[in-house]
Amino acid sequence: MRRGWKMALSGGLRCCRRVLSWVPVLVIVLVVLWSYYAYVFELCLVTVLSPAEKVIYLIFYHAIFVFFTWTYWKSIFTLPQQPNQKFHLSYTDKERYENEERPEVQKQMLFDMAKKLPVYTRTGSGAVRFCDRCHLIKPDRCHHCSVCAMCVLKMDHHCPWVNNCIGFSNYKFFLQFLAYSVLYCLYIATTVFSYFIKYWRGELPSVRSKFHVLFLLFVACMFFVSLVILFGYHCWLVSRNKTTLEAFCTPVFTGGPEKNGFNLGFIKNIQQVFGDNKKFWLIPIGSSPGDGHSFPMRCMNESQNPLLANEEPWEENEDDNRDYPEGSSSLAVETET
């Protein structure tokens, strides 16, 4: 009976956690919906008197709004990509690993299993990176998210504002969301500012629209400052071909730690996120090269790295677990194992 109550309580807590995790997203959605009402109805249709100015404001606003909401949707609902089956331990290997009590033998077993895999990063002690929760050998740049309870390919961070783990499958969409968010706030602030001054000087009648226009400028400026800082930081990460986790914890390769191990040069670093075709760079369509399991590395020449040599990569395999406490910044939370 007592065990049943504990299981029910645990299930209830998990359910509450899932529901509460959507609160930040709900807040953003409500703010965006209010900003749409305030800008379209209270500013453009009520406050702005010139028909030509109304049309121009509304056309450009809706063009930005479409891309802003589109990229936000993609950031939220694009599922994080997990390692494929060849990185998972087979049932036999799992039994052997768990039944072995000697750490040095376990370490050697993982080395043997990883020989046929494109794995070049190691733990701080030089061991093969292994997740004992998902029972898999971690691909390069893959980490375990304690919030999503899964290993995520090229994990960057877990963001509460999209209630999703940002990684290989949706990092491009997240960057685009930040860019269009900055543009959205900047456009609102610049077009609202002249009417803010008119209301401030008393040149316009004090009606209901006054509150919406004044508050719209304040909110747009407040979000703009926060977003431009975050967007600038991620632009720096992209220019160095780093993830947020790699910026805080230098990756260790078979030859030792190397903070610029994935840095291929400015242009190639950008292409690693947005792809080779520039016409897709501004559109939230998946165009990142590769499958998220292997990445070109600066420390390897073409004869060693199949991704640089453009050869057939790795044959199928038949057959450090370190916890980072959940930390938060103004707009993102990084959680990784």
Residue partners of 239: CB distance under 8 A and separation at least 6: 266, 269, 270
CA separation (Å) from 33 to 27, 38, 56, 159?
10, 9, 21, 21
Q: What are phi and psi of 233, to 5 degrees?
A: -65, -45
CA 159 to chain centre: 7
Q: What are phi and psi of 256, to 5 degrees?
A: 120, 180
d(CA 132, CA 87): 13
159 part of the active site: yes
Which residue of the set 44, 134, 145, 159 is catalytic?
159
Contact criterion met (CB below 8 Å) for 333 and 157:
yes
Residue 189, sorted as left (phi over 0), alpha (psi -120 to 50) or beta, turns out to be: alpha
CA separation (Å) from 226 to 196, 221, 240?
21, 9, 22
**Among all residues, which ones are annotated catalytic?**
159
